[in-house]
Chains A and B, each alone.
Chain A
Amino acid sequence: GENVEQHPSTLSVQEGDSAVIKCTYSDSASNYFPWYKQELGKGPQLIIDIRSNVGEKKDQRIAVTLNKTAKHFSLHITETQPEDSAVYFCASKEPGNTPLVFGKGTRLSVIA
């Protein structure tokens, strides 16, 4: 089955700097890659996703890139703000009746 590795597990950045979180997946057939943000005491919430037919997707200060050959995908947050502090999860999904498989999460701290 699919396996997703996520790095780093913790990340501290100064406000205004960029943050990058990276994930690798094992199944080359996986075709959907979402990123979730989990704030303290809440459930994860989708912030951006990308499908296997696209290499990059942007939404304001966040972007996701996908390298299908290397089986890597990354989340990029620019101009970080204190409210970006949270735990971020990547996930992947294989085609068919399969569940999302999550990485172990990255705790991002943005220092004002």
Chain B
Amino acid sequence: NAGVTQTPKFRILKIGQSMTLQCTQDMNHNYMYWYRQDPGMGLKLIYYSVGAGITDKGEVPNGYNVSRSTTEDFPLRLELAAPSQTSVYFCASSRPGQGSPEAFFGQGTRLTVV
């Protein structure tokens, strides 16, 4: 099992550019999450999804968009990148309804906006 796979691992964006961070999981988990982690700080929830076609805002959704057309994929879109979006982004998945609420994380995408 690959688990949770994020691409790319690193990216440098110029202010105003757009990009999509990809996340896919092969564990048939219905829940998926996007977190950002600023240097020396904790994890802040951006968006989450409890199943295909359903998404909800987290603590810091401004400047981001998500979609969940399949169980496996949960891409995060950044429109008009800003320096404040420089961070490490983590995708995670879980399956709480099946007695397995633990979240599995990807390895992260380190994004720098210059």
Contact = CB atoms under 8 A, between A and B. Distances in A.
Interface of A: 6, 32, 34, 36, 41-46, 49, 89, 91, 93, 97, 99-105
B42 A104 contact: yes
A46 B102 contact: yes
Interface residues of B, number: 23
Contact of A93 (B4, B101, B105): B101
A102 B105 contact: no
Given A43-B106, A45-B105, A100-B101, 5 more contacts: A41-B108, A42-B107, A100-B33, A102-B45, A104-B42
Contact of A49 (B33, B42, B102, B108): B102
B108 A42 contact: yes
B102 A97 contact: no
Contacts of A104: 41-42
Q: Interface on chain B toward A: helix, strand, loop, or mixed SS?
A: strand
B71 interface: no
A99 B31 contact: yes
Q: Interface on chain A toward B: helix, strand, loop, or mixed SS?
A: strand
B45 A99 contact: yes
Contact of B103 (A97, A100, A105): A100
A32 B43 contact: no
A32 B50 CA distance: 17
B23 to A, nearest CB: 11
Contact of B43 (A41, A42, A44, A45): A44
Contacts of B4: 43
Contacts of A45: 105
A61 B42 CA distance: 25
B101 A89 contact: no
B31 A32 contact: no
A39 to B, nearest CB: 11
